[in-house]
Amino acid sequence: MAPSLHIVMPAHNEGAVIAKVIGRIQDNFPNAHVIVVNDGSSDNTAEEALRSGAYTITLPFNCGYGVALQTGLLHVYRCGASVVVTMDADGQHEPETIRRLMEPVANGAADVSLGSRFLPASVTYRVPALRRITATCLAKLLSLLSGQQFTDTTTGFQCLNRKALRLLTSLKDFPERAPDADLILYLVMQGLRVREVPVTMHADQGGQSMHGPIKSLLYVPNMCTSILSVLLGYAGSHK
Amino acid sequence: MGHVSTEARLLTGFCGLALLVWSLLKLRRRSALVPTCSLFLTVGLIFISFAIYPNAFDRVSYLLGVKYPPVLYLIGCTFVLILMIVHLAGRLASTDERCRRLAQELALLQVAWQPAAGVEDANGAARDIALLQSAVLGAEAGLPTSKQPTG
């Protein structure tokens, strides 16, 4: 029996687009379990997700992308999921490329695959210059520290096997806001095989960006500190 | 030894006494943490003792080799404040983590108790409850991880 696919989507105020995103996933994967983690939205995200047939978990208040993501992962881990795809609820990630993303994990070549928008075969929107520079710098830093080439460290389009799932759900200090380069480094340091896959990404189609101007400004120093904490073995503290 | 005026001694004594009374009231109402109260009680007692023995601070200062006592006072204050910040930062981090876990478990439990929310994964929801129950029965604080890794 083929393992069932679980798709986890953290969502915060994505009521305008979430139904469309879920619909597109269901068109491509009719048997997939779509899990929406409503991160304390103030709009109709939860209602729209429910109406679209997604399993909807609602956090009591806005806890941050990382917390929402880990909640979804915790749920699918307990459900016995063997392969899980995480993606954004704002329509940025193309459900049609999930198959390509899953390939390395499904055939056992990797424990985690990351959808990259900066690989040569990727199809992407015009990424703002500052964001692109930041992403490139962090990717270079991550490549240097992990000894492996990475191009896109801020991707939320990922595929994990059960081994990775177990590791992430048991992680006590799961990054609260932006689990990006720090988490990838942690996975690599834990001996997991992480591979990047070219995917198609669009500009977000609505909702609220998780990176406001102040958060964007603080993102790089916070991420560097988080990377340092991973290097110091801070993140290795399991429950 | 420097001279300390009566007004300064009275003010120091009053501040120390106010801190003592405030800490004891908080402690009685259990509206402040015990370690915080004990810190304020200690500070209050130190203030009162300096009001009674105004030259004691100067003596301590000279004993430690600090020739200008206010410098020792500043260093002491800075140290205590940093200590408090470190302590509160630690408590904030642990409270934040507990709050996050609580929110996660609450969300999972809530959806498990509302079948309409996730009909397609009702089995998973039932497992959530069973796992949570077993974790609550046996575990220390922390997320109840399910059956241990199968790899």
- What is the predicted ipTM? 0.72
Mean pLDDT, chain A, whole residue set: 86
Q: Do B151 and A35 touch (CB under 8 A)?
A: no
Mean pLDDT of A81-88: 93
Do residues A7 and A35 make contact, with C-beta atoms less than 8 angstroms apart?
yes
Give the distance between the most distant pair of CA atoms in chain A.
48
Phi, psi of B44 (to 5 degrees): -60, -45
Closest-CA distance of chain A to residue B35, Å? 26
Rounded CA separation A45/A38 (Å): 7
* Chain A residues closer than 8 Å to B142 by CB: 172, 239
Alpha carbon of A72 to those of A15, A42, A88, A139, A149: distances in Å? 18, 19, 12, 26, 28
Residue B138, chain A, CB below 8 Å: the answer is no
Phi, psi of A116 (to 5 degrees): -105, 140
Judged against a pLDDT cut of 50, whether residue A211 lies above it is answered with yes
Judged against a pLDDT cut of 60, whether residue A68 lies above it is answered with yes
Rounded CA separation A26/A148 (Å): 34
- The percentage of residues in chain B with a pLDDT greater than 70, rounded to a whole number, is 74
Do residues A170 and B151 make contact, with C-beta atoms less than 8 angstroms apart?
no
- Which residue in chain A is spatially nearest to B142 when comparing CA positions? A239
User: A208, A185, A213: which is closest to A16 by C-alpha?
Assistant: A208
Residue A12 has a pLDDT of 93
> A124-133, A200-209, B44-53, B60-69: which has the minimum mean pLDDT?
A200-209
Q: Do B127 and A78 touch (CB under 8 A)?
A: yes
User: A123, A125, A184: which is closest to A153 by C-alpha?
Assistant: A184
Helix B34-52 to helix B69-113 angle (10° resolution) is: 160
Facing residue for B146 by CB, picked from A53, A55, A78: A78
- Write down all domains in chain A, each with its CATH number in brackets: 5-236 (3.90.550.10)
Judged against a pLDDT cut of 80, whether residue B37 lies above it is answered with yes
Q: Do B118 and A57 touch (CB under 8 A)?
A: yes
Summarised one tens digit per residue, pLDDT across range A25-58 is 999 998 899 999 999 999 999 999 999 999 999 9
User: B103, B135, A77: which is closest to A86 by C-alpha?
Assistant: A77
Facing residue for A57 by CB, picked from B97, B100, B111: B111
Closest-CA distance of chain B to residue A152, Å? 27
Summarised one tens digit per residue, pLDDT across range A159-207 is 999 999 999 998 877 887 778 888 999 999 999 999 999 988 887 665 5
Phi, psi of A23 (to 5 degrees): -60, -40
Strand-pairing partners, residue A161, are: A83
Q: What ranges make up the beta strands (E) of chain A?
A: 5-11, 33-38, 55-58, 83-86, 112-116, 158-161, 194-198
The residues, any chain, with a CB within 8 Å of residue A216's CB and separated by 6 or more, are: A130
Facing residue for B103 by CB, picked from A35, A59, A79: A59
Mean pLDDT of A102-130: 86
Residue B146, chain A, CB below 8 Å: the answer is yes
